[in-house]
Structure 1
Amino acid sequence: MIAGDQKHRTRILLVEDNIINQKVAMRLLDKKLGYNADVANNGKEALGKLETSDYDLILMDCQMPEMDGYETTRIIRDEASAVRNHKVPIIAMTANTMSGDRETCLETGMNDYVAKPIDFQDLADAIDRNLCADKCPQPQSDHSSIIAESQYVEQGVADTIPSEYGDDPDLVELIDEFVLGFGDDLRTMKETLENGDLSALRRLAHQIKGAGGSYGYPMISEAGKMLEDAAKEQNSGNCTLAMNRLTALYQAAVRGRERDK
C-alpha cells in the first residue's frame, strides 16, 4: 500500500481520448486514491509530455485516434526515442476483454492491465503493484474461492444510496444514464438466470461490477462481484441471493437520484 505522503509526490500520466472516461478516471485518481495526474488526449500528446517531464506511472488507453496505446508504448520502450524514462510502468486500460488481450498488452511492453469500465479496486491494486515494486506486498486475488451464503445476507440496503460522484455537475447526466440502464441490465440478468445460462450471467455481472465502481456506487460493484463469483461456481442459489441484493441496490440508487434532483 502506498503511503499518503508518497502519493502526493507521485506523478501519473493518464492517456485517454474520451472526455467522460477522463473525468471518471481523474475523479478516481484524485478524490478516492489521492494521486496527482496529468492528462494526454492521445499517444502523440503523451509522447510530448514524456519528452519534457518525468512520470512515475502511465495509465494507457489502448484504442485512440492519432496514435493508439500499443504504438505509443513501443516508442516509449524504444531506447532511441526522446522520452526521458523508457522504463516507466505502463498500465493498459482497455474495453477489450477477449482472451489474449492481456498477453497482447504485455508483449507490447506494458506492465499491467485493467479492463474498462474501470473498477476502483482493480485500478488501486494495479497502481500499488507497479509503484510499490519490491517495497510493498502485492495483493493476490483468489477467484476460485467458494462464496459463503452469509456474504450475501448483509446489512439491509439503505432506502437511498447516492453516487459518490453525484456532486460533480459534469458527471450527473452520465450517472443518470447508468442508473437508468442498470434497470435494463437487471431484467436481462434475471432472464439469463432463469434460463440457467450462468456463463452469460457471469459476463453480465462482471460488467456491473466494473460499472458500479466507475459511477460511484461501490455497493453495486461489490454485489456485482458476488454475483460474478456465484455464477463462476455454478451456484444458482447464491446467484439468486446476489440478484436480490442488486435489485434492492438499484431501487435505492433510483431513489437517490430522484432525491438529488
Structure 2
Amino acid sequence: MRSEKIVPITDTVTSTNVRTQPADCEKHGPFEQKVTVILNRELKGGCPECLRAEAAEREANAQAAAAYEQRLSLTRKLGDALIPLRFQGSTLDNFRVEHGEQSHALKFCRHYVAEFDRMYETGRCMVLIGKPGTGKTHLGAAIANALLHTTPRTAVYRTVGAVLQAIKATFDRKSERSESDILSSLVNPDLLVLDEIGVSKENPSDFELTTLFAIINGRYEQRRPTVVITNLSAGQLPAAMGERCVDRLREGGLIVVPFNWESQRGKEGF
C-alpha cells in the first residue's frame, strides 16, 4: 500500500497595528490621522471634522426623507378623509364655548380623542345629537382632524347623502368603482364620522336603510368606532337609520352628547 506524505499546515498569525500620524485636511487643516496596518497594508482614516460633517449630512437627509414620507402619508390620509373645506380647519381648540352645555360637549369630544385607543379596542361609538347649527359637525370634523394630524389613525367624514349618491353612481356600467369599494372605504378606517343622519323629513327608503346597515354592521363586526351626527331626537333615531343600526351603535356603551342650545351659525367657531 502506497503511503501518502502528510504535509503539515502552518497557521499564519497576522497582527494588526494602529498608530496615529500628522495629516492635513484641505478644509479643516491639521489633524491626527489614524492609521491601521493589516497584513502590511495601511488603512488611513479621514479627517474627524469631515467625518462628523458627513454623518450629520446623512442624518439630515434621513430626517428630511422621513419628514417627506410623513407629509405624503398625511396628504393621503387627508385626501381619503374627504373632510369638507369649511371644516378642514375645525379643531377642538377653536370650538367656541359660551356656556356650560357647550363646555360639556367639548369635554366629551376631547375625552374621545384622548382615549381613542381604548375606544378603538371596544368599538365604542358616539352620537352628537340635537338642534341644527349648534356645532355638531364642527366637533365631529375636529375629532377626525385630531386623529389625522396627531396620531397614526385613519379617519373619514361622510354625509349620508354623499354616500348614497356614490353608491348609486356605481350602478352605471362605466363606473370605475363598485359598491363594494365604497362600502370598504367606509368600513376600513379607524374612525368614521357619519353626518346628516335623518336629514330628510321623509321616511328613509329601503335603499337608505340597507346601506346604513351595511356600513354600521360592517364596522360593528370589525369592532371599529363610529361617530354619528344627527339633528333628530334620540327617539327619532331608530326610525331614521333602523333599530338594528342603533342596537349595534349601543354595543360597548354608546356615548350620547346632546346639543340642545340655539343655533350658533354666523358666530366665530361654528
TM-score (norm 2): 0.28
Greater helix proportion: 1
Greater strand proportion: 2
TM-score (norm 1): 0.28
Higher relative contact order (CA 8 A, sep 6+): 2
In terms of Rg, which structure is larger? 2
